[in-house]
Amino acid sequence: MKINIHTLIGVSVILLLISCKQSKKNNDLINKEKSTEVRFDKALGAAKFNSVIDGEEAKLYWIKNKDIVVAFTNYGARIVGLWVPDKNGNMTDVVVGFDTAEGFKNSTEPYFGAAIGRVGNRIAKGKFKLEGETYTISINNGENSLHGGFKGFQDVIWNVEQPNRNTLAFRYISPDMEEGFPGALTTKVTYSVTPNQEIVMEYDASTDKTTVVNLTNHAFFNLNGELGGTILNHDVQIYANEYTPVDAGLIPTGKLEAVEGTPFDFTTSHKIGEQIGAKNIQLEYGGGYDHNFVLNGTQKSGMNHVATIIGDKSGIVMDVVSEEPGVQFYSGNFMEGENTFKSGAKDEYRTAFALETQHFPDAPNQSNFPSIELKPGEMYHTISKYKFSISQ
């Protein structure tokens, strides 16, 4: 077969142009990511952040891609900050936190951004029974136990692995009877970012003795940014037809009550502040919203659709999905302006909210709630995802 030399040259030129175009695209992407790294590493630097806590090194870590940047510390396996584009394309930090590890250690609010365990939320009177034996755990919230006791997972240094720029894995072995919980619990929390502008939180645990486990993350969000002010004008939809009402100590009564006709009805989107001041005994007990919502099984991406939240100023949308049956919605009721965040903003009253995916509070003492028992030979595994986009 005879090949025309002019045709061959033409094809070569086209291939060269395509190759150059692709190379430029790749270089632009690399340069954009490098620019992002420089910008955020300067704003939150390891030299200032790193320190020694309880004799161990607390360090700053990053995961990122071109559309999402997340900073972490191994002190509490916690999120330090999370940057995503707002409606104008400006990278906006939507998770409040501090610019030093000591800031988290010394904060009047110990849970900012932290991995929570062994048991997230409250256990009544700090007591529960397992296999006929009564266990007494640390009481650190009135007459109840909250978020694993005084030295929960938020107050320990975790081991860290970083297999790639998009993933961080934190590991901690909680010894038998730490804070009163039975069994040596081996825990792994893996955070990753995806090209879909998601942060994925994956939790794994195993035990050598029957115990209880309910892991979550306590990121405090403001979708208008750390300097965004009140969260009361955020629009929220929670995919739950019921919630678990509580007593004055915020312990569930054991009942599931319909949200319909109450200030807890977020089955359609409305502002956080719309009914937060309503005359309602549950709102009085919580000082606002601090309640577990029972997810109704609405599916998204093969998991329970938990909530959709929109920042009123930024246009940032956060969609939460999870394998968990419930979510604790907390409206920043106990924020008192006593701590200064990395942006210089104070933690003023209701300037951040939390959505903690979870099993229900006080589950070990509530036989009608989904169990949180974990036995030797079993694996605890659950995933939650927080996806960011722009409102249309």
SS3 per residue for 11-42: HHHHHHHHHHHHHHHHHHHHHHHHHHHHHHHH
Q: Which two tokens stand for residue 370?
A: 């989904």
Of 8-17, 95-104, 240-249, 304-313, the poorest mean pLDDT is in 8-17
Which residues, at least 6 apart from 173, have a Cβ–Cβ distance to it below 8 Å? Answer: 184, 185, 186, 187
Q: What is the band of 310 on the pLDDT scale with cuts at 50, 70, 90?
A: very high
For 266-286, the pLDDT digits (tens) are 999 999 999 999 999 999 999
3-class state of residue 358 by DSSP: strand
Distances from the Cα of 113 to the Cαs of 56, 151, 181, in angstroms?
Answer: 20, 16, 23
pLDDT at 189 over 50: yes
pLDDT of residue 120: 98
**Cα distance between residue 238 and residue 376, in whole Å:** 35
Residue 73 domain flag: no
pLDDT at 14 over 60: no
pLDDT, average across residues 284-303 = 97
**Cα distance between residue 245 and residue 247, in whole Å:** 7
Compute the mean pLDDT over every residue in the chain, rounded to the nearest whole number: 92
pLDDT of residue 45: 86
Residue 231 domain flag: yes
Residue 261 domain flag: yes
**Cα distance between residue 315 and residue 223, in whole Å:** 8
Residue 8 domain flag: no
Q: Which two tokens stand for residue 391?
A: 């409102």
Residue 371 domain flag: yes
- Are the CB atoms for 329 and 306 separated by under 8 Å? no
CATH number assigned to the domain comprising residue 212: 2.70.98.10
pLDDT at 29 over 70: no
Residue 162 domain flag: yes
Q: What is the band of 38 on the pLDDT scale with cuts at 50, 70, 90?
A: very low
178, 198, 242, 356: which is the annotated catalytic residue?
356
Neighbours of 66 (CB within 10 A): 15
Q: Which two tokens stand for residue 306?
A: 């938990």
**Cα distance between residue 294 and residue 312, in whole Å:** 26
pLDDT at 139 over 60: yes
Domain with 282 in it: 101-390
Residue 241 domain flag: yes
218, 234, 305, 359: which is the annotated catalytic residue?
218
Tell me phi and psi for residue 296, to 5 degrees. -95, 5
**Hey, which residues does 200 pair with through a beta bridge?**
192, 385
The H-or-E segment that residue 101 falls in is: helix 101-106
Residue 132 domain flag: yes
Q: Which residue has the tokens 């502040």?
A: 273
Q: What is the band of 292 on the pLDDT scale with cuts at 50, 70, 90?
A: very high
- Are the CB atoms for 209 and 178 separated by under 8 Å? no
pLDDT of residue 384: 98
CA end-to-end distance (rounded Å), the chain? 57
**Cα distance between residue 1 and residue 169, in whole Å:** 58
3-class state of residue 283 by DSSP: helix
Closest to 197 measured CA to CA, from 70, 40, 353, 38: 70
Q: Respond yes or no: is residue 356 known to be catalytic.
A: yes
pLDDT at 33 over 80: no
pLDDT, average across residues 242-266 = 98
Q: What is the band of 15 on the pLDDT scale with cuts at 50, 70, 90?
A: very low
pLDDT, average across residues 292-311 = 97
pLDDT of residue 4: 53
DSSP state of 219: -
pLDDT, average across residues 326-350 = 97
**Cα distance between residue 352 and residue 389, in whole Å:** 19
Count of domains forming the chain: 1
**Cα distance between residue 20 and residue 14, in whole Å:** 10
Q: Respond yes or no: is residue 291 known to be catalytic.
A: no
